[in-house]
Amino acid sequence: MPHLLYVPVVHSSADMGSAASGYKDAFIARFGEHKWHQRCEEYNAIWRAIREGVDRVIEQHGVAMHHVKLYQDSLPVCGREAALVAHMAAEGSENHALLSALMQRGAVLVGSEAPDLLLEEYRLLQAPDHTEAQAAALLEQRDRFIAERIVGTLGADELGILFIGALHQVQRYLPSQIAVEYVPIN
């Protein structure tokens, strides 16, 4: 039976790309530089715990690293997945640094999202008149696509690791034949 480790992620400013500096400036203006540094430390502690939890699950399953498949929120199926992850890791994303480290150990990266849906979401969020219902419907489409990618690529003797934003509900669209567990964080 295939297993999927579900890792809810917290996006950092490094994950925001070009919007990062504006977000940081707005946060500091509102809460101060000390709170920004405190928040960064808390974020780093969360990622240390996630990293340790992922390692524990891999060890518990006793699966060889080449039987570990990695799925990432917002990573399009495009043929350049590894380069995108390397770029984001170089920009300071802890999430992508962990993906890179797992890949270096032999895990297999799988493009997880439909590029057209990601582009549609970007355009929707830029539209001032978008509604919550539109955003929710698009998120559901993305979740269904991710679930289909997992079903189509995760073998019976493999462990999948899904790094996914907290608003997603991919697990709702997975068949019962895939055992889902959540990353243990201590």
For 138-160, write each residue's pLDDT tens digit.
Answer: 999 999 999 999 999 999 999 99
* pLDDT at residue 35, rounded to an integer: 86
Residues in a beta bridge with 5: 161, 181
* pLDDT at residue 97, rounded to an integer: 95
How large is the average pLDDT for residues 21-37? 80
- CB within 8 Å of 159: residues ≥ 6 apart: 2, 3, 4, 5, 57, 58, 61, 63, 67, 68, 69
Question: Do the Cβ atoms of 85 and 109 come closer than 8 Å?
Answer: yes
* pLDDT at residue 172, rounded to an integer: 96
pLDDT in tens, 40-72: 888 888 999 999 999 999 999 999 999 999 999
* pLDDT at residue 185, rounded to an integer: 80
Give the integer Cα–Cα distance in Å for 41 and 3: 32
Residue 90 has φ and ψ, to the nearest 5°, of: -65, -25
pLDDT in tens, 84-104: 999 999 988 899 999 999 999
Strand order in the sheet with 159-165: 108-110, 68-72, 159-165, 3-9, 179-182
Name the pTM for this structure.
Answer: 0.91
Read off the tokens for 122.
Answer: 């970007």
Give the integer Cα–Cα distance in Å for 27 and 134: 28
Question: Can you give the residue ranges of every domain in the chain?
Answer: 3-182
How large is the average pLDDT for residues 107-135? 93
Sort 140 into a burial class: Cβ within 10 Å, 0-12 / 13-18 / 19+: middle
